[in-house]
Amino acid sequence: MQVALQIASIIVSVILVILILLQVKGGGLGSLLGGETGGGLTRTRRGLEKTMFQVTIALSIAFLAISIFSVIVFRN
């Protein structure tokens, strides 16, 4: 069971990293340091972008649950 949880954790974390990297729009170094992109305008997520955002949230919750479960179950 411990191996299965470790494999699940690795798979979820890799997919989570890929989804997060796909969502990053090339804002550049200015946005990283607090600069505004697009003049401060916000836009709503639609279509595939919204689905990827929701899947990212679900996978992050799943990763947290797997991590907590594995710590609780396999505590020596």
User: Rounded to the nearest 10 degrees, what angle do helices 2-23 and 48-73 cross at?
Assistant: 150
Check if the beta carbon of residue 2 is closer than 8 Å to that of residue 38: no
Give the pLDDT of residue 74.
Answer: 84
**Domain tally for the chain?**
1
Q: How many residues does the chain have?
A: 76
Whole-angstrom distance, CA of residue 35 vs CA of residue 53: 23
Residue 27 belongs to what domain range?
Answer: 2-73
Helix (H) or strand (E) holding 24: none
Q: What is the pLDDT along the chain (76 residues), one digit of tens a residue?
A: 889 999 999 999 999 999 999 887 655 555 555 555 555 566 677 888 889 999 999 999 999 999 999 999 888 6
Give the pLDDT of residue 26.
Answer: 53
